Amino acid sequence: METIKALRIPIGDWVEAIVDFILINFQPLLDAIAAAIGFVSESFENTLLWIHPLILTALLVLLSLWRVGWRFAIFAAVSLFVIMGMNLWQETVSTMALVVAASFVALILGFPVGIAMAKSDTVEAVVRPILDFMQTMPPFVYLIPAAMFFGLGKVPGTIATVIFAMPPSVRLTNLGIRQVSHENVEAGLAFGCTDRQLLMKVQLPLALPSIMAGVNQTIMLALSMVVIASMIGAGGLGNTVLTGIQRLNIGLGFEGGLGVVIVAIMLDRITQSFGHIGQGESLFRRLMRTLRGHPAAGEEKGEEHARTT
Amino acid sequence: MAKTKLVVNEVYKIFGPRPQEAYDLIEQGKSKDEIFEETGMTVGVQDASFEVYEGEVFVVMGLSGSGKSTMVRMLNRLIEPTFGKIEIDGHDIVKMSKEELIQLRRREMAMVFQSFALMPHQTVIDNAAFGLEVAGVDRETRYERALKSLDAVGLKANAHSYPDELSGGMKQRVGLARALSNDPSIMLMDEAFSALDPLIRTEMQDELLRLQSESQRTVIFITHDLDEAMRIGDRIAVMEDGRIVQIGTPEEIVTKPADEYVSSFFKGVDVTQVFTAGDIARKQQLTVIERPGSDLNSAIQAMRGKDRDVAIVLDKHQHYEGMVSASSLAEAKNGDGKIQSAFLKDVEPVTGDMGLSDVLHQVANSAYPIPVLDGNKKYIGAISKTALLQTLDRAS
């Protein structure tokens, strides 16, 4: 036992040393990152808060109506009024803005990595364990270096969220592209696609359902992380929950939790609706057809029928 | 003979890290399986050489795993040949740079796939215009050309549908239209009609033949189906285990198969192409031996006794003399009384080595069984309509 104790490998010390090293030598880089991330998350939040609550509610209800359906639109309207009734509007919008900003950054970083993974087995072999690491590390752990590098507040909260939420979009982009039918890829090549054309015209469009599933998961993970990130001052609904815990105030904690649930359901259903492709005539298709000036297939047939009879 | 369009010269495809090693083993005469056993490398195609003439439909036929799909993919370098030369209009495509290859694929060649491989997110017209879009043709021109090719395959009305709104046959018409839009001089068709049900398949084969009659393209058609190969092929190459075992016209392949493998294709495929008349002739008809002195009455007696309508008349050496029916015998009895004058005039015997397809018509249109003779006019048997139907039925 003594010898084993004497054998202690100081991984923790090493990590600390690395963090110190980065802090001392890369301060300008850290500042630049902080400024960029801060700009993105603050502009999202300011824009959303700038819109009058009722107008934003109306916009969200309309979006739900367009993408999901009238039942979900009613649900959205009722839930958003409940949030306003709980006096949690500002926190909810703040949380949404943080989720959207963090997901935005995560996707911007995640797509190229996912594409690179799909194109090269070597890249996949290197990135896969890193993704595993990112996903299995308890999310609280990210808060420590984030806070050390960027202090307290929204910026470290967003960064910790980006790291935690990125893996699904990388994975599912990779998977989606790899799962594109072999013959479709061959068709692209046989008709003379360059590598770039193959990606843009064949692989990405056909991988879209999978990629959108990744976007959806990234947004969901971002939401869960944003709540945790309130511990380093990211604010929003997480803060309400945290206060509820600290004061053992069940009511406040429940209200905050309910707000998170509502945001989660809305983000989930709306982002999921963008991943549904190839299930008959979607609204998107109808819209595209109308824009091109062609009536929908059904209508056309109907007209012909009317003419012949 | 027409101009040579495509020359494939000693082409090999070896899947694996050390192709030279496998090549040496092939040279030593080792089989595909032995090489796989020894080196773990797969020989896809070995020593393939053939020429395709301009405007012909060249069919590559073989079972799955015979290397036919690999072969066709080497023609546009979707799969890189390991060794050998492939010349199109005299240019070796194996030596082409990536840029040249892309231009070749855009201008000269188009491909049609077994599973259609349409882009589900694009409308039919966008799919048909895919090759042109990739080549950077402006939207108006490419829609115009795509509409023309959709019109050629009878799908103009569906131009703004999506692929998932179409049936399998219609999807493959879009695949065909997509290939036609590029106005290629060579069309590669990889099991293009194999995923379609038989009726639609025949329809598509006719469609292809019609398109061919309108504008002669060089078509290289991959199939595992002999019927299809015979129907559309000007010439057929049969592949086995990566080797081309025979190249010839459909007639040559059927009548002079190079080996067991080639002839095995005919088993259970289309019996009329395989069986000879002798194969299905049965000795179930009543035979009457004509001896000097025997008269009509013995024949009539025999037929009554066995309750038959017709009988075959042979001499004592089993040579065929003629066929008689009860009514023709009755007529002859009232006439000159000679059995020769009772012979049915519209019954023409066939020889045993004639193909079933050649005698099909005769059997179907004759009121009587058709007698089958060997080369020395010896009676082998007869083909009745029933026997014919049974044979055809067994095959399907």
**Domain assignment of residue B190, given as a range:** 4-108+184-269
For position A303, what pLDDT does the model report? 36
**How many Å lie between the alpha carbon of A113 and the closest alpha carbon of chain B?**
24
Confirm if B195 and B115 have CB atoms less than 8 A apart. yes
Nearest 5°: the CA angle A290, A293, A294 is 80
For an interface test with B, which of A184, A186, A191 has the most B Cβ atoms less than 10 Å from its Cβ?
Answer: A191
Helix (H) or strand (E) holding B187: strand B186-190
The closest CB to that of B121, out of A188, A192, A277, belongs to A277
User: How much of chain A exceeds pLDDT 70, in percent?
Assistant: 87
Helix (H) or strand (E) holding B392: helix B385-395
Contact B181/A at CB under 8 A: no
Are B230 and B293 in the same domain?
no
Q: What is the pLDDT of residues B119-129, one digit of tens each?
A: 988 999 999 99
Query: Could you state, in order of their start, the residue ranges of all structural domains in chain A?
Result: 34-274
User: Is pLDDT of A309 > 60?
Assistant: no
Section A51-69 average pLDDT: 89
Tokens for B56? 């012909």
> How do beta strands B350-351 and B370-373 pair?
parallel
Domain range A34-274, CATH class: mainly alpha
Q: Is residue B121 part of a domain?
A: no
**How many Å lie between the alpha carbon of A190 and the closest alpha carbon of chain B?**
6
Are B85 and B28 in the same domain?
yes
**Least confident piece of the model among A75-79, A138-142, B10-14:** A138-142
Are B254 and B382 in the same domain?
no
User: How much of chain A exceeds pLDDT 90, in percent?
Assistant: 44
Are B254 and B358 in the same domain?
no
Section B165-189 average pLDDT: 91
Contact B114/A at CB under 8 A: yes
The closest CB to that of A297, out of B102, B115, B165, belongs to B165
**How many Å lie between the alpha carbon of A182 and the closest alpha carbon of chain B?**
9
**Overall domain count for chain B:** 2
The closest CB to that of A205, out of B119, B160, B188, belongs to B119
User: Is pLDDT of A183 > 60?
Assistant: yes
Q: What is the pLDDT of residues B78-100, one digit of tens each?
A: 999 999 999 999 899 999 999 99
Residues 6+ apart with CB under 8 A from B128: B146, B147, B149, B150, B159, B174, B177, B178, B181
**Phi, psi (rounded to 5 degrees) for B111:** -130, 145
Q: What is the pLDDT of residues B232-261, one digit of tens each?
A: 888 999 998 889 999 998 777 877 788 887
Chain B nearest-CA residue for A185: B117
Are B193 and B326 in the same domain?
no
User: Is pLDDT of A204 > 70?
Assistant: yes
Query: pLDDT confidence of A173, banded at 50, 70, 90?
Result: very high
Q: Does B117 contact A193 at a Cβ distance shorter than 8 Å?
A: no
- Decide which of B247, B269, B291 is a domain's last residue: B269
Q: What is the pLDDT of residues B21-76, one digit of tens each?
A: 888 888 888 888 888 888 888 889 999 999 999 999 999 998 888 889 999 999 99
User: Is pLDDT of A306 > 70?
Assistant: no
Q: What is the pLDDT of residues B275-327, one digit of tens each?
A: 677 767 777 788 888 776 667 777 787 788 778 888 888 887 888 888 888 88
For position B62, what pLDDT does the model report? 87
User: Tokens 């630049």 sit at which residue?
Assistant: A32
Contacts of B164 in chain A (CB under 8 A): 278, 280
Are B223 and B363 in the same domain?
no
Q: Is residue B283 part of a domain?
A: yes
Q: Is residue B125 part of a domain?
A: no
For an interface test with A, which of B100, B162, B190 has the most A Cβ atoms less than 10 Å from its Cβ?
Answer: B162
For position B261, what pLDDT does the model report? 79
Residues β-bridged to residue B61: B223, B238
DSSP single-letter state for residue B26? H
Q: What is the Cα Rg of chain B in Å?
A: 29
Are B257 and B385 in the same domain?
no
Helix/strand/coil for B373: strand
Q: How far is CA A129 from CA A84, A116, A277, in A?
A: 43, 15, 31
Contacts of A184 in chain B (CB under 8 A): 117, 119
For position A301, what pLDDT does the model report? 37
Residues 181 through 210 of chain A touching chain B, CB cutoff 8 Å: 181, 183-184, 186-194, 197, 201-202, 205-206, 208
User: Pseudo-torsion of CA B325, B328, B329, B334, nearest 10°?
Assistant: 170
Q: How far apart (Å, rounded) are the C-alpha atoms in residues B154 and A152? A: 67
Instruction: Confirm whether the ipTM is greater than 0.85.
Output: no
Q: What is the pLDDT of residues B365-385, one digit of tens each?
A: 888 888 888 888 888 888 888
Helix (H) or strand (E) holding A162: helix A154-179
Are B284 and B324 in the same domain?
yes
Q: Is residue B127 part of a domain?
A: no
Query: pLDDT confidence of B390, banded at 50, 70, 90?
Result: confident
Q: Is residue B307 part of a domain?
A: yes
Chain B nearest-CA residue for A181: B117
Section A171-178 average pLDDT: 94
Query: pLDDT confidence of A12, banded at 50, 70, 90?
Result: confident
Residues 208 through 227 of chain A touching chain B, CB cutoff 8 Å: 208
Q: Which residue has the higher pLDDT, B59 or B393?
A: B59
Q: Does A201 contact B119 at a Cβ distance shorter than 8 Å?
A: yes
Chain A nearest-CA residue for B104: A192
Q: State the count of interchain CB pairs (< 8 A) between A and B.
A: 77
Q: How far apart (Å, rounded) are the C-alpha atoms in residues B379 and B372? A: 6
Q: Which residue has the higher pLDDT, B251 or B331?
A: B331
Q: Is residue B136 part of a domain?
A: no
Q: How far apart (Å, rounded) are the C-alpha atoms in residues B66 and B46? A: 10
Q: Does A285 contact B76 at a Cβ distance shorter than 8 Å?
A: no
- Decide which of B219, B243, B269 is a domain's last residue: B269
Are B258 and B340 in the same domain?
no
Residues 6+ apart with CB under 8 A from B289: B313, B314, B315, B316
Q: Is residue B54 part of a domain?
A: yes
For position B275, what pLDDT does the model report? 65
Query: pLDDT confidence of A305, banded at 50, 70, 90?
Result: very low
Chain A nearest-CA residue for B105: A192
For position A118, what pLDDT does the model report? 93
Q: Is residue B115 part of a domain?
A: no
Are B313 and B257 in the same domain?
no
User: Tokens 């400024």 sit at which residue?
Assistant: A35
Q: Give the relative orientation of helices B168-181 and B198-214 as an angle to the nearest 10 degrees.
A: 20
